Amino acid sequence: MARRTPNSSTRPTRSTRQPQPQPLPRTRRTFGDFAKAVLAFLALAVLVVGVPLALASVIGWPLPTEAPSLDMLQQEITVDTFLNVLAVVVWFAWAQFTACVLVEVKAALSGVGLPSRVPGAGPSQALARQLVAAVLLLGATAASFSPGLGQLGQQLEGHQQPVAAAAQQTPGLFGQDRAAAESAASAVAEQAGAQAEQAAAKPSAAKGDTKYYRIQPPEGRHHDSLWEISERHLGDGRRYHEIYELNKDREQPDGSRLSEASLIRPGWIMEMPADATGGELVEMPDEAPKVSEEVREQITDYAKSGESGAEGGGAAQEQKPDTGDTGDQDRDTQQISVPAERPAERPQVAAPAAEGSSFGLPEALVTAPLLAAGLLGALGRRRRAALWQSAMSAAGGRRGMEPPVPAGSAADVQDALLIGADPEGVRLLDRSLRGLAASLADESRPLPTVYAAWLSDGDLHLQLAQPAGEPPAPWQTGQDETFWMLARADGERYGDGDAAAPFPGLVSLGTLDDSRLLLNLEAVPGIVSLSGATADRDAVFASVAAELATSGWSDRMTVTLVGFGEELTAIAPTRLRHLDGVPALLETMEAETRQRRGALGTAGHDSVLTGRTGPAQHTRWAPHLVLVAAEPTAEQATRLAELAADAPRLGFGYLIGTGGGELPGAAWEMEITPEGRLLAPLLGLELDAQRVEAAEQRALVDLFTTADPDHEPEPGAAPPPFLVDVTEQGRPAVYARMVGPYEIIGIDAPDDARSVLLHEALAQLLLHREGVHVRVLASALWPRGVTEDVRDALVDRLHDWLGTDEDGTPRLTTDAAGRLLLAKSVVSDLDVLRSLYHEATQGRGAGDRAVRGRALTDALGLVRGPLLADRPEGRYGWLSHEIVDAQLPLLVADIGLALAAFHLEKDRAGKAIEALERALSTALEDERLWNELLRATHASGDTEALARRAADLVARSGARGVPPRTEALLDELLPAWRDTASAAG
């Protein structure tokens, strides 16, 4: 709910220029790589060309030259016959291997990931794959083994959305003319030659000498980055931040400045650390005579800017807010671009409450809005199910319908979910994706394959695997044809639709600055591998599993957990399942893969995406995502890779953990660091990973298991969370009427400007007598975020408004955990309602009929309508997370039923009917009230009234029909009710 919005003053100037596609980063190839490629080429030439030539020249035509006959079977087997048979076998083997080479080359060139298996060609295809990969290792074509990932590095179109920091986003990157680029390349070549001569003529420069590097122009599909510069000249790409620190905010030759570690352009100059080595580096200009005069002057001017910056710019740099770009990982590769905010078009939202004071809450859940919203929604549904099961249970279940109040770490996790949840963001994402699917279906167009999505302040950017034409309005094309984007304002115009969820496999991986990345696991062309320490991997796996199990942008789904998370299945038993190990997984997935291939073929679909549109959209093609935390053996990994080769077409996805080694068939490789950074250098990613640690997992499981309808409650009836003294001596100092129109009695009304917020804050506190965390209160009142000073000012005003009791005790206090607590002297009519019912059924009324009757009558008299009936439109959105809207009708129905039973004990059917009708005014859908009303009317002996009520009940039931229990009761009390109802109709 609370959002962090960046300070626009710290962001670099953004270009509105149309950028060009970026490629994958290329690693520097060694002589060994070149040798392997040559040997692989020779091996392929021998196997593909040499073998058939040798067979043709040595053996010739191996098959009979005449039609076969029975006489051939009686002929003697000679050496020639044996050689001919062997030649036929070799020809078949050669044809199979050649087919493997062709499909592997096709996959590499077309960018479709791992190809389908050639039948019966396991070892042959593996050999072909290794040889083709080795041949392509030195060329740009090698990037095709990660299809579409080069496109993932492109930033979004500037004239539609501001783009995030990307090396290619600022003006002039692709605007440089070819002559300038060639000049820069020539200068660098000269520098290399000069460095070689200097190395031969004199000793190496002292460690303190200053060295410079000029950013290379694009080479083929490749753009330079700080990571690769650091890897080449410092020996470790993770030292890129040292280069960034030396050069940030210094003016470059084109007049711009390096403000983020990922923003570099060809022609820029970088001062390098003293231990940098390599022929592309330039010492001070006077020591590089072969460098062009223009480049020499630029380096000289740049060196002076560093001196002045050291003298006068240090303080200013120290005061600049930390942008998070000085970490120790590889964001500079920038192969996935990040959408940025639009401060000029949308009002800025203040930073979240309690930025500097977390009170020990799990910040990982606070900063995971989509995950928190899904978990909170699932928890609410679980609690409502428990309420209804308790209400309809013959044993009565929990009398009073009070779910257990979480405590300890479970309470902290619940508070974190309440603070972090963004249900509106989930709703916007869901409607936008379904709206896109509906629009494409109307145009008879298939769904595109979506690799990833970025969410930035509600704006949605989809990364397509390949161009799919113009998107349907209001979607727009992004920076090129592989990007579709939807502005938040356009997405908010979508309503609820009946289209199937098109991309249910999208799941949050983490954030880069203020943008959130969702990877479509279902579309990955192969396996996604995750390396790192076991505990760190498990935290990522748990986050992915929990979000997939509760996401609001999916319909049906199966998520299989292997090697972790058996207890997590309690969160969503219908979606999450746990398998003991990889062998069981292989058996299951091989069977499901065969079944789905057959189903797709029978339905005439080429992939699950086409199966999600049209008449079958709601009944087929639910994704099955597999999360394997247990590292598989080499043989198991190979079998998983074979299954994953066809996974995107079939709606499967594989995320597999590894201790650090490479997995066969891993299309995308990621690493989680102990600091919580998610790295994917070949994707150009360095994210703040979304994780759920072990302690948070246990607390979440506790929340869900205690809320489960089948969870055994404590023996006896659970009392209300707050009991009020209902005698004359228990008159409260402040009394709030909430069951019906909202009214405060006992204190003066606040001024009009603050009345709405103060009333809403008090309402939330009254509904949570166990206390409300100050950050939960802030996120409820200001869903889009608020600063600490505004929040604290509101709490102070609330404190002053409520005042103190006669003994000077404040009526509002804050405990050590940061939770706001109301004094017992502040009471609501809902508290009184619960206390009166408890008094009648479990207190003194349990043994005193007179007390029971008086308490039930007083309780029913408090009911004036639904909760907070006159609340302002647009406020009290936090009530959607509560279950009080389900509790109150059930509580009123319980009171009505108890009072009716009280009157029927003395044959006062009229009084019983009056009590039931009063309860029905608030709990109209409660079947128990209708059934008891029929019994009370029958007890009164008024057959006509009974017939009228039966007809009214049938009319209210509509197309659903009368519930089975009510139908059986009518058959008993009024056998002719069907005829009466038909006549009335």
Identify the band that residue 104 occupies on the pLDDT scale cut at 50, 70 and 90: confident
Q: Which of 45-49, 142-146, 502-506 has the highest mean pLDDT?
A: 502-506
What is the structure's pLDDT at 68? 63
User: Residues 450-484: pLDDT tens digits?
Assistant: 999 999 877 899 999 888 889 999 999 887 788 89
**pLDDT, position 760:** 93
What is the C-alpha separation between 901 and 949, in angstroms, rounded?
19
Instruction: For residues 290 and 912, give the distance between their C-alpha atoms in angstroms, rounded to a whole number.
Output: 105
Query: Is pLDDT of 18 > 70?
Result: no
The CA dihedral of 13, 17, 20, 26, to the nearest 10 degrees, is -10
Judge contact between 352 and 785, C-beta under 8 A. yes
Secondary element (H or E) of residue 792: helix 788-802
In our burial notation (b when 16+ CB lie closer than 10 A, e otherwise), range 62-82 reads beeeeeeeeeeeeeeeeeeee
The tokens describing 56, both together, are 């043709």
319 CB burial (10 A radius; 0-12, 13-18, 19+): exposed
Phi, psi of 688 (to 5 degrees): -80, 110
**Which pLDDT score, from 0 to 100, does residue 388 have?**
76
Share of the chain above pLDDT 70, in %: 74
Q: Dump pLDDT digits (tens) for 801-830.
A: 999 998 999 999 998 888 999 999 999 999
* CA atoms within 13 A of residue 550's CA, in its CB half-sphere: 29
- Report in angstroms the alpha-carbon separations of 891 from 109, 388, 922: 67, 11, 10
Task: Give the model's pLDDT for residue 461.
Answer: 92
Handedness of CA 214, 220, 226, 228 (dihedral sign): negative
Q: What is the phi/psi pair of residue 761, to 5°?
A: -60, -45
Identify the pLDDT of residue 981: 59
Q: Are strands 624-628 and 558-562 parallel, antiparallel or unpaired?
A: parallel
Which of 198-212, 417-431, 447-461, 679-693 is predicted with the least confidence, judged by mean pLDDT? 198-212
Residues with Cβ within 8 Å of 589's Cβ and at least 6 positions away in sequence, in order, are: 626, 640, 643, 652
Q: Write down the residue that tokens 């048979």 correspond to.
A: 85
Residue 579 has pLDDT above 90, yes or no: yes
Two tokens, residue 98:
């050649």
Of 945, 948, 875, 868, which Cα lies nearest the Cα of 910? 945
Q: Is 789 exposed, middle or buried, given 0-12, 13-18 or 19+ CB atoms closer than 10 A?
A: exposed
Structure tokens at 635: 């043989």
632 φ, ψ (degrees, to nearest 5): -75, 160
The one-letter code for the residue type at 112 is: V
Query: Are residues 426 and 553 in contact, defined by beta-carbon separation less than 8 angstroms?
Result: yes
Please, what's the b/e burial string for 3-38 (b: 16 or more CB within 10 A of its CB; e: otherwise)? bebbeeeebbebbebebeebbbbbeeeeeeeeebbe
Nearest Cα to Cα of residue 777 among 422, 418, 424, 421:
418
Among the listed residues 613, 591, 667, 621, the one whose alpha carbon sits nearest the alpha carbon of residue 505: 621
Which residue has better confidence, 33 or 361?
361
| φ, ψ at 466 (rounded to 5°) | -155, 160
pLDDT tens profile 829-868: 999 998 999 889 888 888 889 999 999 999 999 998 888 9
**How large is the average pLDDT for residues 934-949?**
88
With bands split at pLDDT 50, 70 and 90, how would you rate the model's confidence at 27?
Answer: very low
Pairing of strands 558-562, 576-579: parallel
Length of the chain: 985
pLDDT classification of 616: cutoffs 50, 70, 90: low
Instruction: Write out the DSSP string of 559-585.
Output: EEEESS-GGGGGT-TTTEEEESSHHHH
Please tell me the number of Cα atoms within 13 Å of 711 on its side-chain side: 20
pLDDT the model gives residue 322: 39
pLDDT confidence of residue 66: 62
Q: Does the pTM of the predicted model rise above 0.75?
A: no
Measured CA to CA, the distance from residue 765 to residue 276 in angstroms comes to 61
Strands of the sheet containing 826-828, edge to edge, are 743-745, 734-737, 826-828
Q: How far is CA 840 from the centre of its chain?
A: 48
Please give the Cα distance from 537 to 374 (Å, whole number): 21
String of DSSP letters for 81-96:
HHHHHHHHHHHHHHHH
The rounded distance, in Å, linking the Cα atoms of 934 and 966 is 9
| pLDDT for the residue numbered 766 | 93
Given a cut of 90, whether residue 941 has pLDDT beyond it is: no
What pLDDT score does 508 carry? 94
> Which residue shows structure tokens 């040889």?
131
What's the rounded Cα separation, in Å, for the pair 289 and 296? 9
pLDDT band at 41 (very low <50, low <70, confident <90, very high): confident
Instruction: State phi, psi for 598 to the nearest 5 degrees.
Output: -65, -40
